[in-house]
């Protein structure tokens, strides 16, 4: 019985560790104090960042990566940029803090 419990516990832990960091809560994240474009996080794993619309984004070691992002005009590019999800839920990107915004769009002017 103990061996079965240990095996189940180890399997659960290893599966969670392989999943990697998750994207932050879905929504619109507005920059704090600067007039830069906001970051949008979709419930489906998409990310709008640096004026790119990205699919299936992965967070790894403080970086956001995606193989398919679309720019204005339809150009397809890969994404590899800094993005840190802080403990308080704010985002840090290019030295700018972004906070989840629940008011009417667009983001308030700084």
How far is 63 from 25, CA to CA, in rounded Å? 17
Could you tell me if residue 16 is inside a domain? no
Predicted TM-score (pTM) of this structure? 0.79
Residue-wise pLDDT for 23-52, tens only, equals 899 999 999 999 999 999 999 989 999 999
Report the number of distinct structural domains present in the chain.
Answer: 1
The helix, strand and coil proportions of the chain, stated in percent and rounded to the nearest 5, come to 15, 40, 45
Domain coverage including residue 63: 22-101
In percent, the amount of the chain with pLDDT more than 90 equals 71
Statement: residue 13 has pLDDT above 60: no
Could you tell me if residue 70 is inside a domain? yes
> 87: domain CATH number?
2.40.128
Could you tell me if residue 41 is inside a domain? yes
Statement: residue 16 has pLDDT above 60: no
**pLDDT recorded at residue 23:** 85
How far is 57 from 41, CA to CA, in rounded Å? 10
Could you tell me if residue 51 is inside a domain? yes
Statement: residue 79 has pLDDT above 50: yes
Could you tell me if residue 35 is inside a domain? yes
Could you tell me if residue 11 is inside a domain? no
Could you tell me if residue 3 is inside a domain? no
Cβ distance 37 to 47 under 8 Å? no
Could you tell me if residue 77 is inside a domain? yes
DSSP 35: -
């Amino acid at each position: 019985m103990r061996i079965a419990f240990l095996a189940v516990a180890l399997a659960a832990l290893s599966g969670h560790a392989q999943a990697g960091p998750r994207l932050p809560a879905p929504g619109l994240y507005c920059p704090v104090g600067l007039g830069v474009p906001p970051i949008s996080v979709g419930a489906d794993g998409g990310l709008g960042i640096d004026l790119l619309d990205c699919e299936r984004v992965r967070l790894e070691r403080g970086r956001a990566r995606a193989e398919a992002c679309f720019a204005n005009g339809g150009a397809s590019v890969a994404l590899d940029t800094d993005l840190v999800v802080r403990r308080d839920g704010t985002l840090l990107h290019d030295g700018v803090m972004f906070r989840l915004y629940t008011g009417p769009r667009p983001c308030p002017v700084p």
